[in-house]
Amino acid sequence: MRRTFPGHPAAPGMALGRVRLEQPARFSIDTSPLPDAEIDAEVARLERAFAVAREDMAELRRKLHGALAREVGEFIDAHAQLLDDPDLIEGVRAMIRRGHYRAAAALKAQRDRLVAVFDEMDDPYLRSRGEDVDHVIARVQSALARQASAEEKKLATRVGEILVTDSVAPGELAHLASHGILAVVAGSGSPYSHTAILARSLHLPMLVNADGVLEDLRDGDLALVDGVRGEVVVHPAAQDLARYRTWQRDSLREGQRLAELAGAETRTRDGHQLRLFANAERPEDIERARNLGVAGIGLYRTEFLFLAHDGLPTENEQFTAYRDALLGAGGLPVTIRTLDLGADKADAAGLVTAAEPNPALGVRGVRLSLRQPDVFITQLRAILRASCYGPLRILVPMVTDAAELTEVRRLIEECGRDLRTAGFEIPEQFDLGAMIEVPAAALNVRAMLEVADFLAIGSNDLTQYILAADRNNDQLGKLYRPAHPAVLRMLAYVIARARAARKPVCLCGEIAGDPAFAPILVALGLDDFSMQPDRILGQRDALSRCERKTLRKLVPRLLRARGSEEIAALVASVQVTA
Ligand code: PEP
Ligand code: MG
């Protein structure tokens, strides 16, 4: 019999499939007091479980690539931080030692206490952070009970299924998506949770807070998840299936409409030509981007080559990767960014030696490269050797001072001389660019333009440094706003100075591919955008609706805006919808 269950839409879309019911992990918890003689062994078990949970997360982190690595990586890092929280471990350890709790019982008590603290919070966003604690502790419990590996094996059978569960952690969601799950219905949770944010980016329909589903659905039930209306329909009737087909047709049509834009030029409604570049981390990204008609690769993030490697990649290994990137681009320019490790990008290669109290303000990007000249020179040699396979530009991350770029140029020239002496054919001249992602570099951009051949604005980092809001700290999600007037003013300034100096300036942070930002960036005079390949068509479409002349006139008012809402209202007032 047809039944509906309302749920809160956390990620849009619809899906029809068989239910896979997953009861909340229930661990049989022994609450009997622990004998004195077993305390040391129990603490050791606990510590091993934490270590296994940490290793699980690190393993997950290593397996993720591309856009997924960026999205999920942040969540995993946040969870990994929780796992490292000395108060959490110490609290549980003390309960075992002093309270004679067993490890699982102590973990559960800690979990209940912490989740209760979050539940008390008024702010729904902060309240939803209780889920993170829940997921992290569930991982440790799972490691304690040695259930994790059996769980992983079950994933392989999930193709075409709708997961109905109490809650799901972001890392698990990434796994599930890659195993073909169609949608997720969670009995608890909030649309602010990491998992929900991730589901949106994976285009995986998701409902949260769906009451009664765990009790009333059965494994194998046919169900329609409607992330548009916010309901699950079990044993859907003809009218539900018709609604689903209409939705499928409409989204297919939208996909086809966008597909027609592949290979097209990018122009605003009033005919101004723009250039769309792709961000790439893997060879597949370059291939995809080429088929969509891009002007080149605006950002090739080389750190992923390092993060996916045990130890440091050799000069030859790097050379092969850069050469393949250039060959894959088929004559389009490729902007290779030198290593940007440190801060949020985990250091699998072991380059960042000292633990830093403020990693985002510490030795990252070019600061690290200049402190590790052997590593840097190996990379520069590999890049220079690849340069004969296509047009290449070199981009330097995290530049604060023009002198850093000058030093990089000196090293490039030195590497070029050495390679020529060794018989390689290396061009005399390379286009060298600076990432503008540190406010000092932005405010002093005139000095940067004297030594750089081009600029690439890293709005992801620039936003975090302008607003002093860590881009990885989910508690600051509301503060971290690229549409903040302070960010816009800085973008406007950098773009205007680069244009005046007649040097190319591209923006390669996430907002470059966000249709909501298209009118703002056009207003600020940006012509070059670099984004993940799957954003290209949607953004080409959004940009083609922008009336550049009208938007440019809006600039003085945009820059005087007091807040993001005023900016959104100004843009909406001139935006063409059809
Ligand atoms: C940025 O900071 O905007 C950027 C493109 O670099 P990343 O995201 O790799 O730090
Ligand atoms: Mg950056």
Task: Indicate which CATH number applies to the domain containing 190.
Answer: 1.10.274.10
Is the domain of 90 the same as that of 145? yes
In a domain, 574, yes or no: no
Same domain flag for 169 and 273: no
The verdict on 142 and 289 lying in the same domain is no
Q: What's the chain's length in residues?
A: 578
Query: Are residue 284 and residue 202 in the same domain, yes or no?
Result: no
Say what the alpha-carbon torsion angle 547, 550, 554, 556 is, to the nearest 10 degrees. 120
Do 482 and 543 sit in the same domain of this protein? yes
Q: Please confirm, yes or no, whether 194 is among the known catalytic residues.
A: yes
Domain span at 10: 3-251
Among 135, 175, 194, 484, which one carries the catalytic annotation?
194
What angle do helix axes 66-84 and 39-63 make, rounded to 10 degrees?
A: 160
**For a substitution probing ligand 1, which of 437, 491, 514 has the most ligand atoms within 8 Å of its CB?**
437
| Helix H or strand E segment including 571 | helix 564-574
pTM of the model: 0.66
Mark whether 282 and 402 lie in a shared domain. Answer: yes
3-state secondary structure of 355: coil
In ligand 1, the atom with minimum distance to the C-alpha of 459 is 3
CA distance 339 to 369: 7
261 phi, psi to nearest 5 deg: -80, -5
* Position 318 in a domain: yes
Assigned domain for 377 exists: yes
* Domain assignment present for 566: no
Atom of ligand 1 nearest to the CA of 510: 3
Residues within a 6 A CB radius of ligand 1: 299, 301, 340, 437, 458-461, 508-509
Domain presence at residue 575: no
The vertex-492 CA angle with 487 and 496, nearest 5°, equals: 155
Q: Are strands 161-165 and 14-22 parallel, antiparallel or unpaired?
A: parallel
Distance separating alpha carbons of residues 448 and 441, to the nearest angstrom: 7
Determine, yes or no, domain membership for 257.
no
Indicate if 388 belongs to the active site: no
Q: How far is 115 from 107, CA to CA, in rounded Å?
A: 12
Do 564 and 483 meet the contact criterion of CB atoms below 8 Å apart?
Answer: yes
Q: Are residues 486 and 538 in the same domain?
A: yes
| 571 in any annotated domain | no
Question: Do residues 298 and 159 share a domain?
Answer: no
Domain boundary residue among 190, 218, 251? 251
Is the domain of 215 the same as that of 270? Answer: no
> Quick check: 298 and 278 in contact, CB under 8 A?
yes
Q: Is residue 567 situated within a structural domain?
A: no
Residue type (1 letter), 449: L
Q: Are residues 205 and 333 in the same domain?
A: no
Cβ distance 18 to 234 under 8 Å?
Answer: no
The count of structural domains within the chain is: 2
Q: Are residues 156 and 245 in the same domain?
A: yes
What DSSP designation does 388 have? G
Q: Whose CA is nearest to atom 3 of ligand 1?
A: 458
At 500, list the tokens: 């005046």
The rounded Å distance from CA 174 to ligand 2 centre is 23
Per-residue model confidence as pLDDT tens for the chain (578 residues): 899 999 988 888 999 998 988 754 443 567 788 888 889 888 988 888 888 888 877 877 776 665 556 666 777 777 888 888 888 888 899 999 988 998 888 988 888 888 888 878 877 777 777 777 877 887 787 777 654 344 433 443 455 789 998 878 766 776 777 677 899 999 887 665 667 767 776 778 999 889 889 889 888 889 999 998 999 999 999 999 999 999 999 988 888 888 889 989 999 999 999 999 999 877 778 988 998 999 999 999 898 788 767 778 999 999 999 999 999 999 999 999 999 887 655 555 566 556 778 888 988 999 999 999 999 999 999 999 999 999 999 999 999 999 999 999 999 999 999 999 999 999 999 999 999 999 999 999 999 999 999 999 999 899 999 999 887 665 676 788 899 999 999 999 999 999 999 999 999 998 999 899 999 999 999 999 999 888 899 999 999 999 999 999 999 999 999 998 899 899 888 876 54
Residues 393 and 482 placed together within one structural domain of the fold: yes
Cα 437 to middle of ligand 1, angstroms? 8
394: domain CATH number? Answer: 3.20.20.60
* Beta carbons of 334 and 287 less than 8 angstroms apart: no
